Amino acid sequence: MSRIFADYMARARNILESNWTGSSTKPAPSLYPHQWNWDSGFIAIGRSHYDTARPIQEIETLFEAQWSNGMLPQIVFNPKELGHYFPEPDFWQTERCPYAPSGKLTSGITMPPVQAIAVEKIYQNASRPRAVRPFLERIYPRLLELHAYLYRERDPHQEGLVYIRHPWESGIDNSPTWDVPLKKIAIDKESLPKYTRRDLEHGVDPTVRPSDDEYDRYVFLVDLFRRVDYDEFRIRESCPFLVQDPLFNSILCRANESLVRIAEIIGEPPEAPHSWAKKTAEAIQRKLWHEEHGMFDAHDLVAEKLIEVHTAAGFLPLYAGAVKPKQADRLYDRLNSASFCALHQGNCFTIPNYDTQMEGFDRSNYWRGPIWINITWMLTHGLRRYGYTVKADSLQKDLLQLPIRFGFHEYFDSLDGTGYGSEDFSWTAALFIDLVHEFYESEKPRGTFARRIKALLTGDTILNDGREMPDINPDRLAAELMYSIRRLRDKFYDTHRGMVDYEGLKDSPEFQGYRILANGLREFRPSCLMGRKAKLAFWTNLYNTIVVDAVVMLGVKESVKEVPEFFRKVKYAIGPHLFSADDIEHGILRGNVRPWFYPFRLFGPRDPRRAMILTPVDPRIHFALVCGSRSCAPIDYYDEERIYDELGAAAKSFVNSSEVLVLPEEGKVLLSEIFRWYERDFGGKGGVLDFIFDYLVDEKERRFIRENSANLRFEYLHYDWNLNR
């Protein structure tokens, strides 16, 4: 792990430590002095990477305050900390409700039910998962009661979508989405209970918090609930705010999936959560989708219509797997538009909580525009679920750098990253810990599969020794081969996501056709390739395809690392010579310079393949050569005529992706290993810096590099060798 991550991990753990109250964790040192429902879930997830007892205690403490009807309260008040927050138990008066627990002080609303997700994570991350089983057995019925409560009391049409009845229940308190229903509440100051806000007494700038008008409406709703003794039926009859929110329902849907898996672990019947998950996913797809806008919206149950306001919550059905493939593509386009800070746009951090193109977008105000780590964290999981790995990586880049550069704040300015709200915010720390763990997950040593393959693979594998030869004139072979590679790209490569559909490709006629043409390479003379551009395109495309060919033919499952010396052992016979993937990369395309992992140049002094060496080296090839792994550049096809432009585009895309992190506050640049392995191709360290500077689009990052080039330190990011499938 890079040292910088280790340092910040330690800081994150300290924050959780100092916010620990003895039985749970406060969200923030002073602004939020009690236990909050969904905060505890996120906190437990982060902490579970290094501790099991406390996350268990965190969740159990929360559930000790569960209402007897199953509702899990938004806040469990710490009796020793009363007097610094509004509203507190004296205002909620939950004792009016027969379901409220005695001996516990709680609010009278709930929050997005992340708890089952957290419980599953605690189990998965435990060093001794078996020891966690008794906890699973204890907590499972409570989780089930919570979900049953939501479907019983909050889903009046029994359609699989539950409503929230207060903006605080959404967790995204002053989201612009709520403006529409809240606007309809006319406030009569005379009859509104008197109250004093306490949130502005903690040194937080009032302009980054909700307005007084919003607070009046929050209070109006709480007053309504307590006047009917928290009777859900009566609330439903009179409450002007009943909303089916995509965020809340997506979390519920995703939490049902965790419940199913927990049920299976402890041998309980999983049918109930399974059918809830299905029903909610279908309802989200059907009822909350806005076809024209290509986005999920909240549904106002009072007005019976969609609230056409687009916030980050609209992407979260991805997290629940509740999205049809066509809807996922539309969401992805939306996410990559200026509205939510396009990838490589270079002038903002992703993802702002509200569409940046809207008049009411506010880069610093609470849930009206800044970035919140928990929302983006859930979105990265959703994007991975749908295969948008490159975008997920890029969001992770933003998430990792925000606390490092700007501190462990509650939320961050979406244009310049400034931290707002409370410092030392617990879920920012916890999810940072989770992200760093995820980032380094693939560093774990690989097991038995690799050893099995090793035993099988003793020598070289010549991939193009099939009997069937192409029925074409050898002069046409290069053109036909390139055409066939382009067809593979069009059909099986997802250039957006940087992924290859190896499964689909394996038995396809296109791949069979390619393999026959590859057999024809045995009679091909590379000397017939004319001009540098033709050679660059031919060898680059051939390198990328020999890797794909080898992944398929050797049955690679998870990573090319399963095959010892993969790049040296897989070969094509071309004319009278053999070329491994390494020969193509280091021998031809890198001008036969010695590879960083090998004592000699690959083509010795008398090797006839030296005639094919391409010099000078164009370092941009490193962003076009694809080694079948996630940290490589995204795979594509390179056209002889346009290859210089295409290499430029590939370099630009890579330099502005998650593989290059510029951290001005640390005086550091974190780089892909590619820049270390091939430093000399760029002209040494200085050349690497010039190269990055030339392709970087973010003006501030460019300025920082220009002004600090002499003292900049490089650190290198872990290279992810997982298969790009």
Kindly list the catalytic residues. Answer: 173, 410
Smallest distance, Å, CB 170 to ligand 2M8? 8
Name the one range near ligand 2M8 by CB under 6 A: 6-14, 36-44, 525-533, 565-573.
Answer: 36-44
| Residue given tokens 């989201």 in the structure block | 175
Q: Which residues contact 95 (CB under 8 A, 6 or more apart)?
A: none
Name the one range near ligand 2M8 by CB under 6 A: 1-9, 31-39, 510-518, 547-555.
Answer: 31-39
Nearer to ligand 2M8, 433 or 478 (CB): 433
Residue closest to 117 by CA, chosen among 378, 329, 362, 323: 378
Nearer to ligand 2M8, 62 or 262 (CB): 62
Nearer to ligand 2M8, 199 or 438 (CB): 199
- Does the footprint of ligand 2M8 cover residue 173 (CB under 6 A)? yes
Q: How far apart are CA 518 and CA 478, in angstroms?
A: 10
Distance of CA 611 to the CA centre of its chain: 46
Smallest distance, Å, CB 156 to ligand 2M8? 24
Query: Binders of ligand 2M8: how many residues, by CB under 6 A?
Result: 10
Smallest distance, Å, CB 27 to ligand 2M8? 3
Bridge-partner residues for 106, per DSSP? 76
Bridge-partner residues for 289, per DSSP? 296
Smallest distance, Å, CB 42 to ligand 2M8? 9
Report which DSSP code applies to 367.
T
Smallest distance, Å, CB 31 to ligand 2M8? 8
Given a contact cutoff of 8 angstroms between Cβ atoms, the answer to whether 338 and 356 are in contact is: yes
Smallest distance, Å, CB 163 to ligand 2M8? 17
Report which DSSP code applies to 584.
I
Q: Which of 168, 432, 492, 678 binds ligand 2M8 (CB under 6 A)?
A: 168
Instruction: Using DSSP, state whether 25 is helix, strand or coil.
Output: strand
Nearer to ligand 2M8, 167 or 294 (CB): 167
- Residue 47 CB neighbour total at 10 angstroms: 30
Given a contact cutoff of 8 angstroms between Cβ atoms, the answer to whether 163 and 279 are in contact is: no
- For 352, what's the count of Cα atoms within 13 Å in the CB-facing half-sphere? 34
List binders of ligand 2M8 among 343-362 (CB under 6 A).
none
- Does the footprint of ligand 2M8 cover residue 32 (CB under 6 A)? yes
Nearer to ligand 2M8, 168 or 354 (CB): 168
Name the one range near ligand 2M8 by CB under 6 A: 33-41, 58-66, 312-320, 357-365.
Answer: 33-41
Given a contact cutoff of 8 angstroms between Cβ atoms, the answer to whether 537 and 529 are in contact is: no
Q: Which of 33, 70, 73, 171 binds ligand 2M8 (CB under 6 A)?
A: 171
Write the Ramachandran bin of 666: left for phi over 0, alpha for psi from -120 to 50, otherwise beta: alpha
Rounded-to-10 torsion of CA 459, 489, 474, 625: -50
Smallest distance, Å, CB 405 to ligand 2M8? 22
**3-19 and 389-406 helices cross at what angle (nearest 10)?**
70
Q: What are phi and psi of 21, to 5 degrees?
A: -100, -5
Q: Which of 5, 8, 36, 539 binds ligand 2M8 (CB under 6 A)?
A: 36
- The binding track of 197-216 with respect to ligand 2M8, each residue x by CB under 6 A or -, is --x-----------------
Nearer to ligand 2M8, 92 or 543 (CB): 92
Name the one range near ligand 2M8 by CB under 6 A: 34-42, 158-166, 178-186, 295-303.
Answer: 34-42
Tokens at 592, concatenated: 């036969």
Given a contact cutoff of 8 angstroms between Cβ atoms, the answer to whether 282 and 160 are in contact is: yes
- Residue 86 CB neighbour total at 10 angstroms: 17
Cis peptide before 87 (omega within 30 of 0): yes
- Does the footprint of ligand 2M8 cover residue 135 (CB under 6 A)? no
Nearer to ligand 2M8, 81 or 666 (CB): 81
Q: Which of 9, 12, 35, 38 binds ligand 2M8 (CB under 6 A)?
A: 38
Q: How far apart are CA 605 and CA 385, in angstroms?
A: 50
Nearer to ligand 2M8, 373 or 453 (CB): 373
Name the one range near ligand 2M8 by CB under 6 A: 30-38, 59-67, 280-288, 608-616.
Answer: 30-38
| Residue given tokens 């690679």 in the structure block | 556
Q: Which of 19, 25, 33, 39 binds ligand 2M8 (CB under 6 A)?
A: 39
Smallest distance, Å, CB 707 to ligand 2M8? 36
Smallest distance, Å, CB 682 to ligand 2M8? 44
**389-406 and 373-385 helices cross at what angle (nearest 10)?**
160
The alpha carbon dihedral of 559, 565, 567, 573 has a sign of negative
- Does the footprint of ligand 2M8 cover residue 87 (CB under 6 A)? no
List binders of ligand 2M8 among 52-81 (CB under 6 A).
74
Residue closest to 412 by CA, chosen among 494, 351, 503, 346: 351
Tokens at 304, concatenated: 């019976």
Q: How far apart are CA 510 and CA 618, in angstroms?
A: 31
- The binding track of 653-692 with respect to ligand 2M8, each residue x by CB under 6 A or -, is ----------------------------------------
Smallest distance, Å, CB 29 to ligand 2M8? 12
Render 203-268 in DSSP notation, one character per residue.
S--GGGS--HHHHHHHHHHHHHHHHTTT-HHHHHHH-S--EE-HHHHHHHHHHHHHHHHHHHHHT-
Nearer to ligand 2M8, 86 or 483 (CB): 86
Q: How far apart are CA 680 and CA 196, in angstroms?
A: 64
**Beta-strand (E) ranges in 53-194?**
75-76
Smallest distance, Å, CB 373 to ligand 2M8? 11
Name the one range near ligand 2M8 by CB under 6 A: 168-176, 487-495, 551-559, 619-627.
Answer: 168-176
List binders of ligand 2M8 among 400-429 (CB under 6 A).
none
Given a contact cutoff of 8 angstroms between Cβ atoms, the answer to whether 314 and 297 are in contact is: yes
- Does the footprint of ligand 2M8 cover residue 248 (CB under 6 A)? no
- Does the footprint of ligand 2M8 cover residue 246 (CB under 6 A)? no
Residue closest to 398 by CA, chosen among 334, 454, 317, 342: 342
Nearer to ligand 2M8, 39 or 88 (CB): 39
Q: How far apart are CA 200 and CA 209, in angstroms?
A: 8
Tokens at 308, concatenated: 């056409």
Report which DSSP code applies to 203.
S
Nearer to ligand 2M8, 409 or 590 (CB): 409
Smallest distance, Å, CB 702 to ligand 2M8? 34
- Does the footprint of ligand 2M8 cover residue 27 (CB under 6 A)? yes
- Which residues would be at the binding site for ligand 2M8 (CB under 6 A)? 27, 32, 36, 38-39, 74, 168, 171, 173, 199
